[in-house]
Amino acid sequence: MAAVLCTLGFVMICPVLLILINSFNTAEDWLVDPRRWGFDHWVAAFSKPDLLVTLWNSIMLWGLTALISFPVGVAIAWVLARTKIPWSRQLEFLFWVAYMVPSLPVTIAWINMLDPQIGFVNVLLMDWFSLEEGPFNIFSVGGIVWASLMGNGIVLKVMLLTPAFRNMDAAMEEAARASGASNLRTALKVTLPLMISPMVLVFALQLLRVFQSFETELLLGEPFGFYVYSTKIYELVRTELPNYGEAAALASLTMLVIAFIIPLQRWIIQRRRYTTLTGNFKPGLIDLGKWNHILFVAVATLIFVLSVMPVIVLFLGSFMSRMGYFELGFTLSHWKLVLGNPVFMLALETTLIIAVTAAIGSPLLFSVIAYILVRTRLPGRAILDWVIWGSGAIPGILAGLGLLWLFLGTPGLSILYGSIWALILVVILQGNTTGVNILKGVFVQVGPDMEEAARASGAGWIRTYFRVWLPLLMPTLTLLAVLNFVSAAGVTSSIILLASRETITLSLLALRMTTELADQREAASIVSIFIVLLTVGLAIPLRSLSLRLGVRHDVAGTSVSDDKAPKKAQPRPAPAE
């Protein structure tokens, strides 16, 4: 435990501490000027007149998004995992595909569809119904909530909760129905209470993002003067002379959120048992009759709006002379610009190396950490839990700045600066808060009897882990592999200060095309299309692997084949009275 705490504390917590410590450094330029200590940045940051307004805007948007996305995500996860809805596995995979489209291109796609003047949908409605202006306006509070829901608001919750719902013994639901409970009452009184642990973890991860997401809010809020807490921090660090001190002081509020999350989720997990998967596991799904097909149509329609529509818009926009203007015609010039760029192949190679390494290494590392937190009694587990949550306190470019200081200020690590190894380390560790807590929820669900049986049969810890735990965890590990691949392929803020010209990634190239090359949104969309294709290419074989392992409700396993099973002794008939 000491080795784990020292290693993870150094690479995860030291960057956060460096940021917080230097928030008291009043030097004008942190990287050049000598250090001068004081509270100037804190006083200036929390004296801003619009601070309370941006705080309220952030909480309001998060609340509206969570109020809609959480119950919808829970309901869809229950439908996919616990009912006999047709093509449930395929629908679940389509949610993965929806997640693979980066949030920035999704937001751009919805701007192109719901812009009040040139949006595709508004233009069609104005032509059909002779309207003077479009009925929808993406540049509004409702538009920001809609874009957030259509981004990762609903998709991520479905992805995280569906494996947890699938790891539930059908005998518990059958007992409720045998007692006269309806399917709805069974879900409310049995299924959802047993799913409290994973739902709390997903909700806590959602709460952690209340001050962190900014891409959608930045693109849709600035046109009508609507700012949130994250965009205020972003403004401080994107100026010609970045004000990292005030940005770090404002970002410290995330620590308060974490200080609330950790005791809450530990209390909920430890106050009762949530075991739903044991050696006596019984597979089975609920038949909803005609509602199976109705729910299938509803979920499939939502999937079309979430994933297919944005991808179609991105694809069409990449061939437009100017995205959104059909009257200007179509062209291949944007594709020639991207494919003819010598940096593109370098970025593609770097992205593949980083993303594949993150997809393989991160789930295995996170599973071991989650096992230590849930299945062992080692001292220091609470400290380790704080390390995992605390590493997600400082978002985006500030976390990258902390890692930059760590590499440059630590003897022996300066050689990593600008190398691909530094980027690999960053992308592996950046998803630890999400990955570890998702796996914690799975470990809480699994009973100890299967591991104890393996130990009693003479298997050591390593053999037990690979022969018992990894097959049980495989659907979740596959999910995390895809999540980390997508995150690594699309990450920008945490690596932008660590990458060099030789280690540029596709996401950084797309950002450069958007900001430096005359606002080439079309070219950036093409790069995003390649990111989606790469991710889908990885997800399909991983999905096939996960379907062969893990919990299955469509087959019934037996420990011994029928022809080799010992014959039971025939019971002797009872004597006649």
pLDDT, tens digit, for every residue of 457-516?
Answer: 888 878 887 887 877 777 778 878 877 887 787 776 677 767 777 788 887 777 666 655
Indicate which CATH number applies to the domain containing 196. Answer: 1.10.3720.10
- Render 314-380 in DSSP notation, one character per residue: HHHHHHBSSTT-GGG-B-SHHHHHHHT-HHHHHHHHHHHHHHHHHHHHHHHHHHHHHHHHHH---TT
Phi first, then psi: give them for residue 286, nearest 5 degrees: -90, 130
More confident residue, 407 or 377: 377
Residue 76 confidence (pLDDT): 92
CB atoms within 10 A of CB 215: 20
Which of 523, 100, 514 lies closest to 344 in space, CA to CA? 523
The residues with which 286 forms a beta bridge, in sequence order, are: 83
How many separate domains does the chain show?
1
Mean pLDDT, to the nearest integer, of 150-160? 83
Residue 571 confidence (pLDDT): 44
**Tokens matching residue 523:** 């070219």
- pLDDT higher than 60, residue 558: no
Is residue 560 one of the residues assigned to a domain? no
Residue 72 confidence (pLDDT): 92
Is residue 575 one of the residues assigned to a domain? no
Domain range for 75: 2-17+51-274+287-320+329-548
Would you say the pTM of this structure is higher than 0.95?
no
| Three-state secondary structure call for residue 534 | helix
User: What's the whole-number average pLDDT of the chain?
Assistant: 76
- The model's pLDDT over 68-114, given as tens digits with 9 standing for 90+, comes to 999 999 899 888 888 888 888 888 888 877 877 767 667 777 877 88
350/486 Cα distance (integer angstroms): 14
Residue 576 confidence (pLDDT): 46
Is residue 557 one of the residues assigned to a domain? no
80/89 Cα distance (integer angstroms): 7
Is residue 33 one of the residues assigned to a domain? no
- The model's pLDDT over 222-253, given as tens digits with 9 standing for 90+, comes to 788 888 877 777 777 666 666 777 777 776 76
Is residue 571 one of the residues assigned to a domain? no
Is residue 374 one of the residues assigned to a domain? yes
Mean pLDDT, to the nearest integer, of 364-385? 86
- Render 72-112 in DSSP notation, one character per residue: HHHHHHHHHHHB--TTHHHHHHHHHHHHHS-HHHHHHHHHH
- pLDDT higher than 80, residue 158: yes
Is residue 206 one of the residues assigned to a domain? yes
Residue 225 confidence (pLDDT): 82
Burial class (CB in 10 A: 0-12, 13-18, 19+), 504: buried
- The model's pLDDT over 270-324, given as tens digits with 9 standing for 90+, comes to 655 545 555 555 556 777 788 888 989 999 898 888 877 877 877 777 777 666 5
Q: Give exposure, 170-184, as e/b (b: 16+ Cβ within 10 Å).
A: eeebeebeeeebebe
CB atoms within 10 A of CB 454: 18
The residues with which 37 forms a beta bridge, in sequence order, are: 25
314/98 Cα distance (integer angstroms): 13
- The model's pLDDT over 324-361, given as tens digits with 9 standing for 90+, comes to 565 666 778 778 877 887 888 888 888 888 888 888 88
**Tokens matching residue 86:** 């047709």
CA 163, 168, 172: angle at the middle one, nearest 5?
160
Please list, in sequence order, all residues whose beta carbon lies within 8 angstroms of the beta carbon of residue 94, skipping any fewer than 6 positions away: 303, 307
